[in-house]
Amino acid sequence: MASTGEEAWKKYFKGKGDIATSLKDRSNLYDDVTGRSLSKFLEKDTEIVYLSARVYETPAKIKYKSNGKYITARVPFNNIQKPIDSGKIGKSKLKPKDVVPSIVDEWLTPDEIVANVKKYLNTLTLPDQDIKAMFMLLDLTIKDSEQSINVGKLDKNLVPSEFFEILTSIKLAVLMRSNNKKIRGIFGVPKKMDLSKCKIKIMIPKQANMPLLDYYVSVSLTNNPDDKVMKVSVKSKVASASTNTIKFNDAFESDKELKTWYNNTKKKDQIGQMSIADSAINAPSGKSLIYPIKALAKLFDVRRDLIKASLDQFRKPDKFDLANFEAAVKTLSNNMQNLVKKSKLETVLKSDKQLNEMIRFMKANLFQKGNKIITDLTVENASFMCEKIVSKATQKELERVGGGMNFYQMFYDQILESRQIAYAVADKTGNMINYKYYSKVNWKAEYVNWVSLRSKNLINNLNDTLGMDI
């Protein structure tokens, strides 16, 4: 049953201040004081800011931009998009590539980046308090050489993670030109190089397909940014502790590179890690999302002890038959080339014993919305089950079993050492936003010494690939 305008106002707008949203229909404009019709219209999807009101009103007071200036007017309340449906208008336009004047694909000083971003923010249709908060973040970030800034009661959800690509690059440049001792050590700056006398510039690539890199920082004695260039990846943990994972196809350019890495490690305990990465890199065309099936099949052979320990962490159906469950996984793996995500398991698993054991295990451990036992017994969900088992085997809690499967060595060798990537991590504790930087110099001692696997997949929604969670 559709809610009334007043009910929608109470649920989505009341007491929440000015809200950036849009119009869901072409709307007549009314004078914001007299309420009379202006014989003017705003088109569907026009970006507006709903102006906070103490009581429900229609037409409702809004502001919109025309020729770069805000105009206040009124529109029928029912034509205003609910905030949850508005597409996060402001946040969706705070990626570096959106900023005009441009801050991508050219070397800029931190001051130039701040100036351009401020100009851009003033063109957006955003509540005044949001604009002020973003300006405050920029000013505090560039203000001094402290790694933490006091942002007061700033809403942690205001700033999208992509905006921290901008903020962390600014802060890093500021820390460098202040000759911050810790930063010098992390980035390997020569002792005799006085950074306060150097030209420190930032280049944020516009290209979106660079999963391991968000920006470059150049330290040069001249205006030519070529003396020392550092590569930085950004992880924002301000709004959420979860960040994007590193995919194996990004960590290794080829199967040959993977094999070379494994041969050079000279550590037998990396056979499981190598097997998982191999399953991902060599997945048949179009089958990358279901590679955990192949990975689990291999792990049954090379790290059986660990997989049994992982399975012990799940609910086991009565009289669980491990042999038939393993056989089911290997049958799926052997038919990987022909698997289709939405296919029913019964079309692939011809053995009743294998099919029955796979279904029983899935029903014991996969639950749909409302805690209902899974009913979609598909290849997709079988792969999701395999993914959960593989992922569990990489958790630190299983370290007691033969050392577990820690992907730190692979991450260190391929990302920190081989590709020389450093990381900028932003997080929030209380009123403080902290800018932290890590490289091969301090990663293990100051950040994490265990790297597990994770994805964003859900039942019936396999859209991500299992990767290294850093």
Averaged pLDDT for residues 95-108: 93
Q: Is the pLDDT of residue 450 over 50?
A: yes
Q: Is the pLDDT of residue 239 over 80?
A: no
In tens, the pLDDT along 213-229 reads 899 999 887 766 665 68
Using CA atoms of 294, 300, 304, 309 in order, give the dihedral in degrees to the nearest 10.
70
Whole-angstrom Cα distance, residue 425 to residue 385? Answer: 31
Q: Tokens 């005044």 sit at which residue?
A: 128
The confidence score (pLDDT) of residue 38 equals 92
Q: What are phi and psi of 138, to 5 degrees?
A: -65, -45
Q: Is 372 helix (H, G, I), strand (E, B) or coil?
A: strand
Q: Is the pLDDT of residue 127 over 90?
A: no
Q: Is the pLDDT of residue 401 over 50?
A: yes
Reported confidence tier of residue 1, pLDDT bands at 50, 70, 90: very low
Closest CA to 180 of 202, 200, 195: 195
Q: Tokens representing 332?
A: 């799926």
Of 43-47, 90-94, 441-445, the one with minimum mean pLDDT is 90-94
Q: Is the pLDDT of residue 87 over 50?
A: no
Strands 37-42 and 27-30: antiparallel
Q: What are phi and psi of 466, to 5 degrees?
A: -60, 130
In tens, the pLDDT along 183-221 reads 999 999 988 899 999 999 999 998 755 678 899 999 887
Q: Is the pLDDT of residue 5 over 90?
A: no
Closest CA to 173 of 136, 204, 192, 145: 145
Q: How much helix, strand and coil, in percent to the nearest 5, is found in the chain?
A: 40, 20, 40
Give the pTM: 0.83
Closest CA to 174 of 214, 143, 153: 143
Reported confidence tier of residue 403, pLDDT bands at 50, 70, 90: low
The confidence score (pLDDT) of residue 86 equals 41
Using CA atoms of 170, 175, 177, 182 in order, give the dihedral in degrees to the nearest 10.
-150
